[in-house]
Amino acid sequence: MSLNLSADEVLSTTRAVRKRLDLTRPVPRHLIEECVDLATQAPTGRNRQRWHFLVVTDTAQRAAVADIYRRAVHLAEGTPLTSRDLYRMNAHGSWPRIAAGLDHLYEHIHRVPAIVIPAVEGRTDRATVGEQAGTWGSILPAVWSFMLAARARGLGTVWTTAQAPLERELARLLGVPYDRVMLAAFIPLAFTVGTDFRPAQRIPRDQSLHWDTW
């Protein structure tokens, strides 16, 4: 399935999808494989192809993963936000809508037909900034390419880091060697209810674009 979107349309309409994930329709394996094939064409630091994609579709395994997700969400609650964070979150009055989406995903995470957990070889727990940049600079482009490829195929995704507080437990469940491999994100994947996503409102360009100096 292809939506025949232009590159600019894909880039400007790949939204964080929570409430509009179709929980009733399985995602064919070949579509996920196509997205992974495109993801692994992303640029990677020093050509170190260290990324991995764990896809969970088995009903019992999804239930176990969903349980960890929910407990991890509770552990992450209360993370302090700066005034700048709060300003940008509420810049267009969108936070109540996003919060409703978060609640919806929390309630229905076990019903999402596929959970994609990107991972990268190497841990950054106590790494230098340079080491962190190299590791995240390898996995992030690949995951974003995966999400763009999904959008082009009528699939919705949302990047979450819900796994972080219980990453070791999730790694154990999935058979991941925690000491050598880092679970980078937790991404629900499903067909979307409708495909009419639009560019989002963002802060004005002059608040994020800098020329020559800050």
Between strands 51-56 and 114-121, the pairing is antiparallel
Q: What is the mean pLDDT of residues 8-17?
A: 97
Q: Where are the alpha helices (DSSP H) in 19-166?
A: 29-39, 59-76, 83-89, 95-108, 129-152
Q: In this predicted model, which residue has the larger pLDDT, 208 or 88?
A: 208
Reply yes or no on whether the pLDDT at 103 is more than 70. yes
Per-residue pLDDT tens over the stretch 190-202: 999 999 999 998 8
Rg (CA), the chain: 18
For range 178-195, the mean pLDDT? 97
The set of residues, in sequence order, having a beta carbon less than 8 Å from that of 175 and lying 6+ positions away, is none
Structure tokens at 198: 């639009």
Cβ-proximal residues to 170 (8 Å cutoff; 6+ apart), any chain? 65, 68, 72, 117, 163, 176, 183, 186
User: What pLDDT digit, counting tens, does each position of 15-66 carry?
Assistant: 999 999 999 999 999 999 999 999 999 998 766 788 999 999 999 999 999 9
Q: Looking at residue 81, what is its pLDDT?
A: 63
pLDDT at position 96, please? 80
* Summary count for the chain: helices (H), strands (E): 7, 5
| 139-154 mean pLDDT | 97
pLDDT value at position 91? Answer: 65
Q: What integer pLDDT is reported at residue 93 of this predicted model?
A: 58
What is the pLDDT, as a whole number, of residue 202?
86
Q: Note the pLDDT of residue 77.
A: 75
The model's pTM: 0.91
For range 133-140, the mean pLDDT: 91
Residues 61-102 pLDDT 10s: 999 999 999 999 999 876 666 767 666 666 665 768 878 999
Mean pLDDT of 116-130: 95
Q: What is the mean pLDDT of the chain?
A: 92
